Structure 1
Amino acid sequence: MELAAELSRTVKGEVRFDAGSRATYSTDASNYRQVPIGVVVPKTVEDAVRAIRACHEAGVPVLSRGGGTSLAGQCCNEAVVLDWSKYCTRLVSVDVAAKTCIVEPGIALDELNDQLASHNLMVGPKPSTHVSCTIGGMIGNNSCGSTAQAYGKMVDSVVRLEILTHDGCRAWVGETDDEAYERILAEGGRLAELYRGMRELRDTYMSEIRTRYPKIPRRVSGYNLDSLLPENGFNVAKALVGSESTLVTVLRAEIQLVDVLPARTLVVLGFSDITAAADCVPAILPHKPVALEGVDEQLIQLEHSEHLAEQAIKQLPKGSGWLMVQFAGTDQEEVDRQAQALCDDLHRKPSAPGVSFLDDPSREEELWQAREAGLGATAYPPQGPETHEGWEDAAVPPEKLGDYLREFRSLLERYEYENASLYGHFGQGCVHTRIPFDLKTADGVAKYRRFAKESAELVVSFGGSLSGEHGDGQSRGELLPLMFGARLVEAFGKFKALFDPDDLMNPGKVVHPHRLDENLRQGSDYRPWEPTTHFAYPEDDNRFAKAAARCVGVGKCRGHESGVMCPSYRATREEEHSTRGRARLLFEMLNGEVIQDGWRSDAVHDALDLCLACKGCKSDCPVNVDMATYKAEFLSHHYEGRLRPLSHYSMGWLPLWARLAAFAPSLVNSVSNLRLVKALGGIARQREVPLFARQRLVKRLAGRTSPAGHRGKVLLWPDTFTNNFHPAIGEAAVQVLEAAGFEVITPDRTVCCGLTWISTGQLSTAERVARRTLETLKPQLRDGTPIVVLEPSCAAVFRDDLPHLLHGDQDAHRLAHQTKTLAEILTEKAPDWRPPTVGRQAVAQPHCHHHAVLGFDTDEKLMRQYGIDVDVLDAGCCGLAGNFGFEQEHYDVSMACAEDKLLPSLREAGEATLVLADGFSCRTQIDQSDVNQRPMHLAEVLAAALHGTQPQPERPSAPSRAARTAVAAAAVAAAAGPALAWLFRRRSR
């Protein structure tokens, strides 16, 4: 394609017109799907300017995209997509005195606020997608969030914008007084044409602008023509905010900042239902809270069922609808007085609400996170169909909110959409909901269309806005005449034509929009491929296609702040290496239009290749996308009947090689780190292959009889890693369990959970291994004996993978129920037992699978009870992740993941700090880094306390150089012997 060649020639960044990249950017967080022409990832702002120039010369549409979390379809189009979020992320400058900053459009909100924190400043608006939404995207969408109660919408924060039109007009724009206006006209050119046109447009439609725009805090729909009014300073920058990439591309922005307010108090009010909560909003507003959020009973029940904010939810006052009222300032006593004054005021009124003060910052944070997770929590309710955007953020005057909600509920009931939860920014009259639209049948789509029109009419009757936060895009673009009337919609069209006369900026959105029931990601012709799979996917009706479509696009996997997911995105900042990007590719693979080669797809393989299978997305993703399982499924079919990577045979078959190595561990250790051996195994030359123990755990425990314990029997699972590499951990666990009153037994033959075969997608082998394990454990599974597993990844296999791989096998489900970590068995079965106090400061690095599947809270609580002053690191994945970090092609990403947070945290902790890491991968990554601490398993620490000694890890020692040389020479001679003998015979003839 000529355009792709021209872009590649002129752009220093990345130009991608391949099927995989186009598939990755085919949708956003909305109901819509439009496959782009290509993708450009500019290295610099000037790079983007060159890209747009090339697109203009080719007459090709452009879409400028931020975090890609838009809910109205404005971030997908048949255009060249500019993704700013990888490189154009600079905080250009900060003016502390003026409280302003200049930024590039790709910087994420949380990243920017982190950089501003040293100045005690922040950006005012804070959408729930703050971990991933970019400043450019916030400007394009006129974003708000809960803090808009105090700081307004993004339009209220923008001072100036550096803009570029599709035809190349570039300028800084902002408030324009008469003198500046005349100067621009005098200079002539395209900019003068724009300013003259805007002034004429404003004057022509001034009456309608002043009378038809709702006077409410959350009007996001339509263009901001009101910012061009004389009383608003003819502010061109503010007029362009919220234009959704349909007018200009924002190159840089000057933002007004606000002070960080450290003192906070959260008051939660309980009401009989959500409409009663809404009725109370006008009584609260005079107290000037910084946030005023509403949540209904259904959302709270969904959050509780998904184990989100459980402790905070327990502290809610009685009721079926709640208001979260936050006060903030610089003085805690003053903030508390504000909160108390509100409560006193409300208690003087009839039907006073219930009140709870959440004065524990961790509980407050839990509740805010639960509120922010509303979209994800309501997307897939346990009972009922999946829900969708389509009418999820309308806004009305706050004083009319209660009456609006009653009528809106009636409308939902009439359309039989009763399962919709209602929540949102009630202090500004903005209501969020996801509705169980049927978007897969013609009747369902027609019903959705009728509902959207009636909902728009209802909002307009209350003097409200079709969108109070998420924008118009395609969801609401064609409904704008109902809100603004024909004359203002005509003005919008002229505004668009002024800046974009050829309709090449994000066409089909806002102005001349596609119908709201076009370009649906599902639609009445939706019929994805339904392949036969190894895993069952019971949460998705046993359909891989439904599992692959689970992602709702909110982009939490693109965050850099906390949690486990998505380590490869953090290392690469690549959309295709985020959980969301991979989900999009799998969706497109099953859709079959862009990616047509199914399981054999190299595009899908390449995207999944950097997935560490950490399972962080299974717990941290708002809709629990399980990319590790999807990857294993894909690899099993992708390599079916084909040769696999060398590492799949070396590390994928590790349990088998470990059994063989047990016959001569010293010999194996002597050759395993030879460069040739590592190359043959697909192992990175920078890696040290872990050394096998001289004697396996099962051998050390053979013939040993555990004393009968008063707490009964437990079976200690000899996982491959503990058994073959760190048997001292297993011995330590036996000592601890026996001291706690348990009789410890082990399996009577060699067993394996199948982890390495699962992670490399060798699922048929994993099934055979798993069934053999279930047969071995049959007596314990039938009598309910707890299975204590020391390696978190193996415990996660039993808890999560096997029940899905062997779905319906009751023994697999019994094993999942009976599998316990060391902390769990001690907490549940020996709650009164205490070892001698450890009395050490420690940091703990939870294994990713521990975090995602097992949960680390029990471990943390137990450590504190046992006298370990532990700091649980929020450092994400260690980066090793089983075979991933050992593979040559993944070494750099593996170390980038470790250097993201883990290794810096350990360096900061210091050498005297005890490092706890139950995962073999975590310990290996730390051992092979430059930090001086040697990580230990919890079992080792507790066993040391029993003996009254300082914890010291036991690791196999490396063979000497002389031994390695001798063994290597012998190995070479043995390999060369047959060849030399053959050669000697030939020469003797």
Structure 2
Amino acid sequence: MTDTDLSLKDRLSREITGDVLFDSFNRGRYATDASFYQIVPAGVVVPRTIDEGLRALAIARDAGRKVTPRGGGTSQCGQTINDGIVIDLSKHLNKLISLDVENKTCVVEPGIVLDDLNRQLKKHGLWFPVDVSTASRATIGGMAGNNSCGGRSLRYGTMRDNTLSMDAALADGTLMHFGEVSRDLGQANDKSSALFRDMLALGSREAAEVADKFPKVQRRVGGYNLDALVPRNAANNMAHILVGSEGTLAFTTRVELKLWPVIKNKVLGVCHFGSFYEAMDAAQHLVKLRPIAVELVDRTMIALGRDIAMFRPVIEATVKGDPDALLIVEFAEEDQPQNFQKLKQLSELMGDLGFDWNNDKRKWGGVVDVVEPAVQTAIADFRTSGLNVMMSMKQEGKPVSFVEDCAVPLPHLADYTDRLNKVFAKHGTRGTMYAHASEGCLHVRPVLNLKLEKDVKAMRAIAEEAFAMVREYKGSHSGEHGDGLVRSEFHESMFGPRIIADFREVKERFDPGHVLNPGKIVDPPKMDDRSLFRYTPGYAVRDFKTELDWSAYPGSGGGFQGAVEMCNNNGACRKLEGGVMCPSYRATRNEKDVTRGRANTLRLAISGQLGPDALSSDAMMDTMKLCVSCKACRHECPTGVDMAKMKIEVLSARRAKHGLSLRDRLVGFLPHYAPLFSKLAPLANWRNKSKLLRALFERVAGISAKRALPAWRRDVFDPQGEIFGPADGREVVLFGDTFNRTYERENLDAALQVLIAGGYRVHVPKPTGGGRPLCCGRTFLSAGLVDHARAELDRLVETYAPFAARGVPIVGLEPSCLLTLRDELLSLRSDETAKAVSAHALLFEEFLVREAATGHLSLPLKPIAEKAVVHGHCHQKSFGAFKPVEQALRLIPDLKVETIESSCCGMAGAFGYGSDTYDTSIEMAELSLLPAVRRAGANTLVIADGTSCRHQIKDGTERSAIHVARALAMSLSNQRPSSHI
């Protein structure tokens, strides 16, 4: 850091209460967006108020530094990166300031996330319909800066069409209101009037040139919106010159939006095509039925989706045969019978076009109707994840965004895409295509490896040839995702030198010092300047030994590099509701504490950009500190980033360099000392009863004095080597994990009772070779003790192998332990014996539901309660094993089962006990879980399979949650729940 930047940091820290981040780790986390570029900023400011944001702007300007406002950081063209000061508006400046329901308008701060805004609007029957695929993390300020479009722009238009006004500050700090202004501004000399007068004069002067050079397609977001300045009526909306300006003209403080009634009814028609060309040619005909969207899914996306667990079910449900392309046609008229009529017309139109399910490959096709809301939602989730599905390829080459947003008139779409595929083939690659067929704007990405000079040259050649075709078709080279670093260079060839001079004039008039996000739209660098790439010519990752198997990925470190680089900064981990990912970010809203931030830090560390030994450094541990290893990213990240698994490598590297802390030893070696402490239970539990001992434990071991540790007991579950149930019963192994065996044996007793009642022959094997009870190694992995975990799993595999060999299910209760056999075991051992044990490992509910489905389970269950609320363990959700929990509970007669929509409970093993993580643990729980439990009636069962989850619920609500096994055992004996449950 230079003396100037040190002085700048000190001044910002004195005058701003928000975060001021100038260390290399935080700067690195803000050096990228969802593009292939990387520019490290001088520093980052996270203001608490708009006034602080403006103060940061003034201080940076005084220091001669550039300023780049930033929202979700998901731009695909490099708009949100620069080497000056990045001002992150997403953490605090995210409020709905006012709402006018009658007039369907609202005013918001720029950092509010689209999905969050629509959640608040929904109860009033309204929504903001510029429904970008990144709605779970895209901010309104960023969408305005980008002139975002969304999938339904056919009906609702673009961001520009729905922006009524904006408040913003010029680079010199002048606050202005941008809205409707009269073209006759008179001779007023105030700064606003003078600026607007100059802009309107430019619009009058250049009206003919704008009419000639600007493409006549709706999907045109390139350059500045000079067409907003030309004479049309008596007034012009000056906000529209800011929309699409990518933060280069002004610093937005408020945005006034036009709102629409929520969609009440809709249906989808999934049109199948035997050839991609035929699908593209059909689009121009399908839009005549006036759908609100026509979205493309190509063969590549279908195939990749089948390999992603969260998308596989919807593909199996809606894709018929082997199509080369799908067009998903959406109708959303207020009257549902009218939508059904349009579906009928869609099928008739496909028939008129010659498509038939019985044809051969040419003209093969038809329509699959989708009317179920849940399936429609699943399709929407798959469609909006298109980019990230494409990026899930586990190879060095990835689909690269640079020509993806070209928009051409619909009659030319088939020819354009056909010619484009030939261009890709000419340069030795292929492309992926998806998205907005209704607008002639496809997200087209050739597969390239930008670490290779030859592929960078191919990118340049493809861009030049593609943009030439777009000009030929009178289309737009920038149709949705903006200009940034990747497309700004090509404005001159698209618009001509006179319009480029006009763009430069606009920039100079607004920001003569080029303070605000320079290098975008006006005076950009070359798009293929490799010094600005995420992977520069000198980028390299040294080979290093990893503890886990990463062979599914390319790159150094046994494939660890490839796994880390799967993160493309799409930001899906920044979502605030729905699913589980990322619980720590939901609590802190810090870039450091989101999966993307951690992955970026790892990439920078292993490539030497954060200095020597960065992987085992204190700063890296701080980066990983709030990762609760929930494994949600493994399931919910569209590119499959598995941060929980990566964290094990970091912890192992840390342990090798710095050894173990006392807390690591206490957590990791729990399975070793648990038998002894159980025998000494009264003495071992003394810590919970003594304030002095609690304080001492906090000081020397970092265990929070605010938490009671799980109580030791002498009567542990320990029927090693015993067999229960009828001799002729179907065999099953019951895996007694350390936590249930030691602290809550009643869960294992209940499971045993249920299995025996079901007629099963239940084995509780004694470890081969004797010794301690079996363990999955989970606690050792959480401390980075991979060799110890491997040793524990070796004992377990050796013991369970004979059962797995003859097809006996291995059933466990604790999700984090049982699912270790389906996950980390295979990263530590790849032999057939380990694979067999893994394949036979089932959670208790999975086993019961499977048996019930095949007619092998019959239990004499009786009613016990009217209702149960269920919290799912993160690992259950990650492995698709939560639905069986609901299904198992529904075996109980007359029980209404309601799932709590929650992320991680926040306890997460030892995480919630840490003195330095206790507060965050509670914040996570208070986001949704604890309030939902408090709302549950006194006679409602609270169900949670995870040991940690039950303890968090007890600590936070004084309600006792129980395992499903106990609920079923109570139902067997017709035992009504006691009042404390």
Return the TM-score normalized by structure 2.
0.93
Partner of 1:726: 744
Partner of 1:330: 334
1:751-790 aligned at under 5 Å gives the runs 751-790=774-813
Residues 819-877 of structure 1 deviation map (CA, whole Å, 9 limit, x = unaligned): 11112223335531132345442222111011113532333334335544322222111
Partner of 2:169: 164
Partner of 2:29: 24
1:838-877 aligned at under 5 Å gives the runs 838-839=862-863, 840-867=866-893, 868-877=895-904
Structure 2 CA distance, aligned partners of 1:274 and 1:459? 19
Contact 2:943 2:964 in 1 (8 A): yes
Q: Which moved more, 1:438-447 or 1:59-68?
A: 438-447
Partner of 2:965: 939
Structure 1 CA distance, aligned partners of 2:35 and 2:721? 62
Residues 423-464 of structure 1 deviation map (CA, whole Å, 9 limit, x = unaligned): 111111110133211211211211111111111112222211
Shift in Å, 1:879? 0.6
Residues 703-745 of structure 1 deviation map (CA, whole Å, 9 limit, x = unaligned): 7542345454222111001110111111111222223332111
Q: Secondary structure at the match of 1:254?
A: strand
Partner of 1:241: 243
1:898-937 aligned at under 5 Å gives the runs 898-930=925-957, 932=959, 934-937=960-963
| Change beyond 3 A, Cα 1:551–1:850 | same
Instruction: Identify which of 535, 554, 563 aligns with 1:522.
Output: 535
Q: Secondary structure at the match of 2:834?
A: helix
Residue 694 (str. 1) matches residue 733 (str. 2):
no
Contact 1:268 1:317 in 2 (8 A): no
Structure 2 CA distance, aligned partners of 1:781 and 1:343? 50
Instruction: Identify which of 837, 847, 867 aligns with 1:815.
Output: 837
Output the amino acid matched with 1:803. L
Q: Which moved more, 1:16-25 or 1:204-213?
A: 204-213
Contact 1:379 1:434 in 2 (8 A): no
Residues 585-608 of structure 1 deviation map (CA, whole Å, 9 limit, x = unaligned): 111112222444422322221121
Structure 1 CA distance, aligned partners of 2:275 and 2:145? 35
Partner of 1:892: 919
Contact 2:309 2:635 in 1 (8 A): no
1:639-654 aligned at under 5 Å gives the runs 639-654=655-670
Instruction: Identify which of 460, 473, 478 aligns with 1:449.
Output: 460
Residue 307 (str. 1) matches residue 315 (str. 2):
no
* Structure 1 stretches lacking a partner, 5+ long: 956-989
Structure 1 CA distance, aligned partners of 2:924 and 2:663? 20
Structure 2 CA distance, aligned partners of 1:954 and 1:259? 45
Structure 2 CA distance, aligned partners of 1:16 and 1:446? 36
Residue 426 (str. 1) matches residue 437 (str. 2):
yes
| Change beyond 3 A, Cα 1:865–1:480 | farther
Structure 2 CA distance, aligned partners of 1:383 and 1:617? 19
Residues 315-338 of structure 1 deviation map (CA, whole Å, 9 limit, x = unaligned): 334533221111223332333334
Contact 2:188 2:194 in 1 (8 A): no
Contact 1:66 1:83 in 2 (8 A): yes
Structure 1 CA distance, aligned partners of 2:251 and 2:875? 42
Structure 2 CA distance, aligned partners of 1:445 and 1:818? 47
Structure 2 CA distance, aligned partners of 1:112 and 1:931? 34
Contact 1:645 1:682 in 2 (8 A): no
Residues 869-925 of structure 1 deviation map (CA, whole Å, 9 limit, x = unaligned): 322222111110000001111111111111101112222332222222111111111
Shift in Å, 1:193? 4.2
Partner of 1:964: none
Partner of 1:229: 230
| Change beyond 3 A, Cα 1:348–1:454 | closer
| Change beyond 3 A, Cα 1:81–1:372 | same
Contact 1:439 1:524 in 2 (8 A): no
| Change beyond 3 A, Cα 1:807–1:522 | farther
| Change beyond 3 A, Cα 1:586–1:702 | closer
Output the amino acid matched with 2:747. I
Q: Which moved more, 1:638-647 or 1:285-294?
A: 638-647
Contact 1:907 1:931 in 2 (8 A): no
Shift in Å, 1:273? 2.4
Q: Which moved more, 1:161-170 or 1:104-113?
A: 161-170
Output the amino acid matched with 2:175. R
Partner of 1:409: 421
Structure 2 CA distance, aligned partners of 1:331 and 1:801? 51
Residues 470-528 of structure 1 deviation map (CA, whole Å, 9 limit, x = unaligned): 11111111122222122212221222122122222212222111111121111332212
Output the amino acid matched with 1:295. V
1:285-684 aligned at under 5 Å gives the runs 285-313=287-315, 314-318=317-321, 319-351=323-355, 353-381=365-393, 385-418=397-430, 420-518=431-529, 519-541=532-554, 542-675=558-691, 676-677=693-694, 678-679=697-698, 680-684=700-704
Aligned length: 946
Shift in Å, 1:199? 2.8
* Structure 2 stretches lacking a partner, 5+ long: 1-5, 357-364, 768-772
Structure 1 CA distance, aligned partners of 2:332 and 2:353? 25
Return the TM-score normalized by structure 1.
0.92
Shift in Å, 1:274? 2.9
1:27-46 aligned at under 5 Å gives the runs 27-46=32-51
Structure 1 CA distance, aligned partners of 2:958 and 2:348? 55
Residue 741 (str. 1) matches residue 744 (str. 2):
no
Q: Secondary structure at the match of 1:526?
A: coil
1:195-206 aligned at under 5 Å gives the runs 195-206=196-207
Structure 1 CA distance, aligned partners of 2:33 and 2:542? 22
**Percent sequence identity over matched residues?**
36
Instruction: Identify which of 819, 826, 829 aligns with 1:803.
Output: 826
Residues 135-192 of structure 1 deviation map (CA, whole Å, 9 limit, x = unaligned): 000001111111222111101111111111212222001222134x22xx51334x34
Structure 2 CA distance, aligned partners of 1:454 and 1:496? 29
Shift in Å, 1:126? 0.8
Q: Which moved more, 1:217-226 or 1:658-667?
A: 658-667
Q: Which moved more, 1:127-136 or 1:935-944?
A: 935-944
Q: Secondary structure at the match of 2:398?
A: coil
Contact 2:801 2:837 in 1 (8 A): no
Q: Secondary structure at the match of 1:540?
A: coil
Q: Secondary structure at the match of 1:514?
A: coil
What value does the CA root-mean-square deviation take over the aligned residues? 2.1
Structure 1 CA distance, aligned partners of 2:541 and 2:778? 30
Shift in Å, 1:552? 1.1
Structure 2 CA distance, aligned partners of 1:703 and 1:780? 13
Contact 1:835 1:942 in 2 (8 A): no
